[in-house]
Structure 1
Amino acid sequence: MNTSSSTKRKEHLNKLIEKARSLSLKKKIAITLVLVLAIAGTVFLVKDIQHKLYTRAYKVYCNEKLIGVVREKSLVKDIVNDIKVESSKDYGVNVNIREDKLKYEESHAEDNELTSKKELRQNILKDLKLYVSAYAIEVDGKEVGIVKTKDLAQNILDKVKEPYIKESEDIKVEDIKFVEDVKIVKKEVPISKIQEDEEVLKFIKKGTTEEKIHIVTKGESFWSIAHKYGLTVKDLEKANPNKDAKLIHPGDKLSLIVPKPYITVATYENVKYVEKIPFDVEVKESSAMYKDQVRIKRRGIPGEKEVKAKVIKHNGIEVAKEILKETILSQPVAQIILKGTKELPPLKGTGSFITPTRGRLTSGFGYRWGRMHEGIDLAARVGTPIKAADGGVVTYAGWRGNYGYMVEIDHGGGFKTRYAHCSKIYVKKGQKVYKGKTIAAVGNTGRSTGPHLHFEVRKHGVPQNPYKYLGKKYR
């Protein structure tokens, strides 16, 4: 009995012990679980902190535009410095970059989200202007050009003055300056605004960079070219100061842009020169000459005087002059002109002819070199007067093919005379002339082998031998 009770008590005690053990294990598990969770949370927190530290980055903005994402700001600064150094070498001037246009914003990014150095450099060059310290030439406050250095700017201004510094034994330049307010101003400008010095010089001289060229063709002159483009000859000469208006040839290039320079160069010169003194003209009457005739009996001779003066010029053109001293070198000699008083002969044909000019007979009337020569040739110097062989009406005065400059006169009675190869014509179609009236001058125009007068007499349109009308001299 006692043994059985003892066994039961023992079994019950073992159950209680097991139960206690069971409760203790759960608590242990619970505690262990709490510890595990606590440790895991700490690890996750640490990892999160580490991740944030490792992915820290900056968004880079230029002029409010996103140009890249970088891990460190120093990368951007290094790129900017590299650009400065390389650009300074390339352009030969100190290049600056407006880094105040760069803005940074803190951010996070994985490695694959970062902008490469190459791409970032390209974006900086694209969106951030390169600036340099340069020198601008200003005229009355207006900027007309920007160059790299102050010496280049000064050299340009010296070249603007250079053409007007023309000194000689008789010309002394006392002062030279600009009429306008011209300054050289140091400026911080984008590198793209830097200009070549020759380009700036041309712009200052012409007032424009526009170019318009005409290539001279055969037969053209300054007058015809100016007329073609609506310019004056004076304007065309201004546009081509190095060209002689009388000596242009096919293929020559002429500028059609009339210069309007931004800068006016004023020169103050002491000059010495010889000036002509005009001669007086005396008119005397002559009863031996017709009323429409005038002849110089004595040619006038200008006198001369030496002048010393102060002259102000603007771009080489005289604008003011003060005479300091005049010395007479020679007195002028008056010109004497004879004016006819004799009444004019009848302005119609008389039926007889006079020799039209003084000259040597070089070719007669008739066949010559296998063809008909319809007049006679009288050789004389160019400019020798040609007179009307008889009175009549001018029916032609001008250019006529092989005849060159020609005059034709109708004398009535079916007679006409022709005067060819003239150098000058003094009458016009429809004008009435008398016998002996000077109508032209000997020349060498048209189909001619030398200076001479080709003279024809025609009756009812048929060429006549002039010999029988001009007396024994030409028979």
Structure 2
Amino acid sequence: MTIRHLYSNRPNCYEIYINNKSIGCIKDKKDFFNIEDIIKKDAEKRFGKVNFKDSVKLIKRHTDSDKCLKSSKDVNRLIIENSNTEVNAVLMKSDGREVGVLANEKEMRQVLDKVKNSYKEKEKSDQLKLVNYITYVNEDIKIRKVNSVEEVISTIGINSKNPIIAFSRYTEDDLLSNNDSLRLSRGSFSRTAFMSIPSQGTITSPFGSRWGTVHQGIDIGASMGAPIYAAMDGKVYCTEWENGYGNVIKIDHGQGIQTVYAHCSNICSTAGEYVNRGEKIGEVGSTGRSTGPHVHFEVRINGKPENPLKYLK
């Protein structure tokens, strides 16, 4: 082996390995660390504190200089695409249809604002209402699966026959009644009249004072084994036996909204599972402190029980 051969094949770049997978080469490792720094700062702006746990290696290599990654954007994208780091993000849905995964509620509002602006141009009007029910669920997800606002907007299909999110002109009735759609169109996620009845039956006990205590939900009398349905999209976070409640199911819907379904004879869902509004999650029973088959249904807003009748469609 000649000195000329050794010289011409000396290392002239660094091969980047993320979690033991090669993503390409870079000439200067300082450039890599600068890009990595930018990624971490950008992630903290979107998600708050992020604990990056990826394995990163830079190994000296020789390659043709034109094969090195030249664009910092390409390096940035490849690092993210191969990262196993998890962040807490929000799964956004419209009428139960998945819209995308975003960093937070602020980005959801950005999506709605941009979609609304597109409809303003189409409808030649500023007086528009959101026609969908927008919900979200918090979840831990790999950072590479989180969408940008622009990516989500591109999947909505604003100009299609069946867009995931749509706006329409107000009617006179809308403006007079100041209804829920009006509140939604102003950029908040409606907390009223958006839940489905969890079981078909008769309300046998209302919310409020009862027998010297406060009844924190409503009781819906139904036949033993009748289906219990999720009132709204969400993530099941509890399926267990509790004193008084018997077999109970609890669902987190995001925005501080939770629902409780108690006295089940059978639980058909599992903790950690995502369910859609109207999906069967259990069966009516009389477990726990109960005088007969029924479902005890609670709505909690930021931990405080509220009258479910205010929220049922």
Q: When the two structures are superposed, what TM-score results if normalisation uses the length of structure 1?
A: 0.26
Structure with higher Rg: it is 1
Which structure is higher in RCO with an 8 Å CA cutoff and minimum separation 6? Answer: 2
More strand by share: 1
- TM-score by structure 2 length? 0.40
